[in-house]
Amino acid sequence: MPAVFVHGVPETPAVWDRLRVELHRDDVIALQLPGFGCARPDNFAATKEAYVAWLIGELERLQSEGPIDLVGHDWGGGFVLRTVSTRSDLVRSWVTDIAGMGDVDFEWHAVAKIWQTPGDGEDFFTATFSQSAEDRGALYAAGFSIPLDAAVEMNRSMDETMAGCILDLYRSAVDVGIEWAPEFHDIPKPGCVLLADDDPFLVPELARRAAAHAGATLTELDGVSHFWMLQDPVGSAAAIEAFWATLP
């Protein structure tokens, strides 16, 4: 019975490393999004629907290992909510920290809007790559209160391939809330929405409303920001395991 974790942007599976060691199970699988610290497959569109199709394919491949507990962060959480909206048969349970993406009133944060704008997004990454990974990591560590080594490693993994995937992904998702909300309701498998109370990219009210529509529980993570799994791996693991403990 594997627990399958899906990372977000601009990350790799390493974002889960500190949390994984705090979990009391040894069947944890951290998937790697195509183009994120690895090659982008030939002809892979890197749109939101392409990533959802990829995730569904990975879950289908893992079905023989037993019922799946699916966990997603950031865009990984978005792919989770879309997957359980359309293929809930593939999981035993699900966890996401971006349920607001499944609400019609979802609106992108300022950086996302830059990435969605042709020219501005490319300029953003040109400026980004003009700085060292160490300098960028120091900004991440200070801004999100996460360990410096993890922040630097995250920035070392960023490259032109990842940047291209990020731009294609965000430009495919300008109206994601409007497109995905109609099917994100009454999900027939147990779900948990994690709400990090200091996450600057989220609107708490949308998360609560979307959780209610989906029939999911909501767990607030106090005192943590966007990278809750790095900022408080012990508390974050405990919150996820508390949800798993309620499952039949």
Strands laid side by side in the 191-196 sheet: 28-31, 3-6, 69-72, 93-96, 191-196, 217-221
pLDDT (tens place) for every residue of the chain, 248 residues total: 899 999 999 999 999 999 999 999 999 999 999 999 999 999 999 999 999 999 999 999 999 999 999 999 999 999 999 999 999 999 999 999 999 999 999 999 999 999 999 999 999 999 999 999 999 999 999 999 999 999 999 999 999 999 999 999 999 999 999 999 999 999 999 999 999 999 999 999 999 999 999 999 999 999 999 999 999 999 999 999 999 999 99
Q: Give which of 180, 196, 226, 203 is closest to 108, Cα–Cα.
A: 203
Q: Which CATH architecture has domain 3-107+176-244?
A: 3-Layer(aba) Sandwich (3.40)
Tokens 């959480």 — which residue? 77
Q: Which of 166, 5, 1, 213 is nearest to 95 (CA)?
A: 5
Domain segments of the chain as ranges: 3-107+176-244
Has this prediction a pTM greater than 0.85? Answer: yes
